[in-house]
Amino acid sequence: MILTPIPDNDLLPVLARYASALPEDGLARLVFARIAASRDHMGTIADWHRDAVRLAAQFGMQPLAEAPQAAFSWDGRHVRTESEPAVLIHEVAHYQLASPTRRFLPDFGLGAGPETGRIAEADRARRLGDEARELEEQLASLLGILWELTLGQPGILAFQEQNWLEGAGRPSAAAFLIDRLAILTEMGLIDQDGNPALAVRISPDAPMLQQQSPRQHAA
């Protein structure tokens, strides 16, 4: 849900305010420029969905042509693909970010998501506390957006819908993006230019899940 809807006529000024708070040099400015430019990406929903399914298959997620409401978005073996392309790519990002013990749990051990059908089962499989879960959702959001850019899709839509533009121009909004990019880089899930890697996290969850961030290395 967008906290502050941005009319189309106001989008360019908002993007300019956001960019003005980012360092002139560095990864955040580079990544944000690509996100902003993606508003001009062309394609069809069918093309984007096909590419999202192919990406999931690359990670061995065994795409299943079924709605998540039938069970789970991810049931530990299959990702259900009757979702919007950005939602499906977001699930791929969660697969990358989940610790090995959670990667094969329903909905990655995060509890029920907004499209989950078997809510009680997903919540029983939850393994993360609120703080760690929120951080992993933020990282999955950003990693998914970066995959959209790589696939030639308009990642700016998810960037807006998932409230990354909230507080545009404020140092805190810029610091938030910078920090999350740094975590993804440290985990080995994006390269030095912000491009997502075909990699998954291999380290376990920290013991104090409510206190620790998943700054774990990936291979």
Question: pLDDT of the chain along its 219 residues, tens only?
Answer: 688 889 989 999 999 999 999 999 999 999 999 999 999 999 999 999 999 999 999 999 999 999 999 999 999 999 999 999 999 999 999 999 999 999 999 999 999 999 999 999 999 999 999 999 999 999 999 999 999 999 999 999 999 999 999 999 999 999 999 999 999 999 999 999 999 999 999 999 987 443 344 444 333
Three-class SS state of 63: strand
Asked, for residue 80, whether it belongs to a domain, the answer is yes
Residues 6+ apart with CB under 8 A from 53: 63, 81, 88
Asked, for residue 187, whether it belongs to a domain, the answer is yes
Asked, for residue 157, whether it belongs to a domain, the answer is yes
Residue 61, sorted as left (phi over 0), alpha (psi -120 to 50) or beta, turns out to be: alpha
Asked, for residue 178, whether it belongs to a domain, the answer is yes
Asked, for residue 7, whether it belongs to a domain, the answer is no
Domain extent for 165? 17-219
Cα(175)–Cα(28) distance, rounded to whole angstroms? Answer: 9
Q: Provide the pLDDT for residue 207.
A: 73
Residue with tokens 């997620």: 61
Residues 6+ apart with CB under 8 A from 14: 6, 165, 168
Asked, for residue 4, whether it belongs to a domain, the answer is no
Specify whether the CB–CB gap between 198 and 167 falls below 8 A: no
Q: Provide the pLDDT for residue 216.
A: 40
Asked, for residue 8, whether it belongs to a domain, the answer is no
DSSP 82: -
The pTM (predicted TM-score) of the whole model is 0.93
DSSP 69: G
Number of domains in the chain: 1
**Can you spell out the DSSP letters for 112-162?**
--TT-SSHHHHHHT--S-HHHHHHHHHHHHHHHHHHHHHTT--HHHHHHHT
Residue with tokens 């980012």: 22
Asked, for residue 12, whether it belongs to a domain, the answer is no
Instruction: Indicate the helix (H) or strand (E) that contains 57.
Output: helix 45-58
Alpha carbon of 123 to those of 94, 138, 165: distances in Å?
Answer: 16, 19, 30
